[in-house]
A = this chain, B = another copy of it.
């Protein structure tokens, strides 16, 4: 049993080395992961759909190709899960909603196509907050995803299943999406690495939208390197997506070992810590001391505007989401969960002038953040979430959304790349995430700094108590 568990907890990078050298068979790995899903998913509720037969067929195909010398690269034969708002040809794609419960797309989303071309084995579709429109991951139609570190607690959302599955060894990487923090929040709360790339870096074509001007697709995995490997695969211009940027995809993995020496890292101290749960602040404080020990120059920054950016992001998000949901809200409002229906209604009631002002602030925010980063520092560092995972049963009394999104949503608005990397556990045994934010289209520096931190502090915070 230990052997299979150890296998499932390999990093993607380790796994792909062994697959490339034929020390491990993609079929064997896929079987191990499927077995683990069968055992743990009834508790964790990470997968909404497991595509076992297709995955095994793909694994066999990968094995055959590799055996005959046609190795495609580091994702070849690697089991990967995808958030269930990425369209998958022939496989139901629910967005964890009742409304799309029966949808079986005719085409793969661009990101799915790119994973398939890289030889990845897509093992199933991962749970999410309904339509990605919420930060807890609790879902009225499909039940809550559960946090592997404490199954009575939320995973955070909206990429709840992605967070739980990666943390519990139910895949080697997952795709998430991030509109107000939905990759970074579950990464922080589940103790894994998650990357929101620069806006425009990864195609949104075929991904059910939440808010088109804030939506980002990105990787979640158990190491920084693994996230870089997946991002290199899915990134790049897509003429089918009007928001897709022309920026060239770099070899981020090659730059991982550059270290922290000479990097200036800004910490928006007052803002980041004032409202932060004390045990989270203590862990992040130590993490920033580690960055400094590794050679980074830490600068305290005054960025009170982040609070305005959070508000503007919320206004833009609900306005755009309401535009997408308006027809269904008129025809079948009862098919939405209460929380999502309430948010859509807020958006439908919103005035154009309020949206316009928020969108205008976005342009200023993008410029301000670019200039702050370009002139004063190379990266920003702060907690990803200012609180840890709350008990699922507490949600009826206490909405943790603000505390979960307050430091993530500003960078969906500004479009800059941001990573959440595990930086420790609280005394209660709950993971804490360190967020690093870089210049737009400079994922390289973000990966490099996060990798240096991760290497120094040990590859991960260990395995959650699910076995």
Contact = CB atoms under 8 A, between A and B. Distances in A.
B242 A322 contact: no
A354 interface: yes
Q: How many monomers of this protein are in the complex?
A: 2
Interface string A357-368: 101100110110
Interface in A360-393: 360, 363-364, 366-367
Contacts of A242: 363-364, 366-367
A326 B350 contact: no
Given A348-B351, A350-B351, A351-B348, A323 B364 contact: no
B319 A353 contact: yes
Instruction: Give the one of A326, A347, A360 with max B CB within 10 A.
Output: A360
A347 B355 CA distance: 12
A130 interface: no
Instruction: Give the one of A212, A352, A360, A363 with max B CB within 10 A.
Output: A352
Given A351-B348, A351-B350, A351-B351, A320 B356 contact: yes
Contacts of A243: 363
Interface string A321-342: 0110010000000000000000
Interface in A184-243: 212-213, 242-243
> What is the interface of chain A mostly: helix, strand, loop, or mixed?
helix
A84 B176 CA distance: 50
A263 B4 CA distance: 66
Give the interface residue-count category, chain A: 20 to 34
Contacts of A213: 359
A375 to B, nearest CB: 11
Nearest to A315: B352
A353 B348 contact: yes
A322 B212 CA distance: 23
Interface string A18-54: 0000000000000000000000000000000000000
A319 B323 CA distance: 15
A211 to B, nearest CB: 9
Contacts of A353: 319, 322-323, 326, 347-348, 350
Interface string A279-323: 000000000000000000000000000000000000000011011
Nearest to A326: B353
Given A242-B366, A242-B367, A352 B347 contact: yes
Given A348-B353, A352-B350, A367-B242, A360 B212 contact: yes
Nearest to A355: B352
Contacts of A352: 319, 322-323, 347, 350-352, 354-355
A362 B387 CA distance: 39
Contacts of A351: 348, 350-352
Nearest to A319: B352
A115 to B, nearest CB: 25
Nearest to A365: B242
Instruction: Give the one of A351, A356, A360 with max B CB within 10 A.
Output: A356
Nearest to A364: B242
A120 to B, nearest CB: 29
Nearest to A346: B352
18 contacts: A212-B360, A242-B364, A242-B367, A319-B352, A319-B353, A319-B355, A319-B356, A322-B353, A323-B352, A323-B353, A323-B360, A348-B353, A350-B351, A350-B352, A351-B352, A352-B352, A352-B355, A355-B356
Given A347-B352, A347-B353, 5 more contacts: A243-B363, A322-B352, A322-B356, A352-B354, A352-B355
Pairs A-B, 4 closest by C-beta atoms:
A350-B352, A319-B352, A352-B355, A323-B356
